[in-house]
Amino acid sequence: MTAQEISKILHGLASPLIAEHSQGFFKTGCGQYGEGDQFLGIRVPILREQAKKFKDTSLGEIRCLLKSAYHEERLCALLLLVQKFSQGSIADQKVIYEFYLKNTRYINNWDLVDLSAYLIVGAYLADKDRSPLYTFVRSKNLWERRIAIIATFHFIKHNQFADTLEIARILLNDQEDLIHKAAGWMLREVGKRDLVVETGFLKTYYSHMPRTMLRYAIEKFPENERFKYLKGLI
């Protein structure tokens, strides 16, 4: 199926009401992180179902879709990449991973990162040198930094925490709230699997952490413990 055919189908599913809400939810106003992004108004579950129907789309057509001005078309392209990666050979996965890294300028909102980075970048680097993540975490591009921390979700799911902790440490001085949220979320995911590891990190760094990162990291802690962290009583 061509990108043009997929686009036509997605436009047929568009909802102006949902699109209007998405414009605000994803901060598309002047000076905001999603400035200029355009929405069709299609919910993620519907996009997932559609992506299953487009599974045989070539990488070239996916590239065209990924360059779309419409958020949902870019997300559909990424869902197709995730499908191809999960079902592909080792050689296919290498191609998709490299394609992903070459096209990060189009992966330019938090949901686009969160629904693809750990499933492609994290999965590919699971048994390889992870230095690309340390290049990304120092990028001037907000979304590449978010890719770096979210990619480690794959490692977390396999009880490997070192890269998450180190990348979170590097991000302690990041100026972007969306990075604080992502790092805090990943620390919380570490804690779900090994609370000792998370609290060890927090006791060392919580007093230096951006408030949002800390709040996300301790979200599931008992109320009295959250209070102690937030008041600097640990």
- pLDDT, one tens digit per residue, over 124-159 is 999 999 999 999 999 999 999 999 999 999 999 999
CATH 1.25.40 in the chain, residues? 129-234
Fold of domain 1-115: Leucine-rich Repeat Variant (1.25.10)
> What number does CATH give the domain 129-234?
1.25.40
Give 184-228 pLDDT, tens digit per residue. Answer: 999 999 999 999 999 999 999 999 999 999 999 999 999 999 999
Mean pLDDT of 63-90: 97
For residue 158, what pLDDT is reported? 98
> Where does CATH 1.25.10.90 sit in the chain?
1-115
Distance CA 80, CA 78 (A): 5
For 208, counting Cβ atoms within 10 Å of its Cβ (0-12 exposed, 13-18 middle, 19+ buried), the class is exposed
Q: Does residue 122 contact residue 156 with C-beta atoms inside 8 Å?
A: no
CA 91, 103, 55: angle at the middle one, nearest 5? Answer: 55
Structure confidence at residue 234 (pLDDT):
84
pTM of the model: 0.95
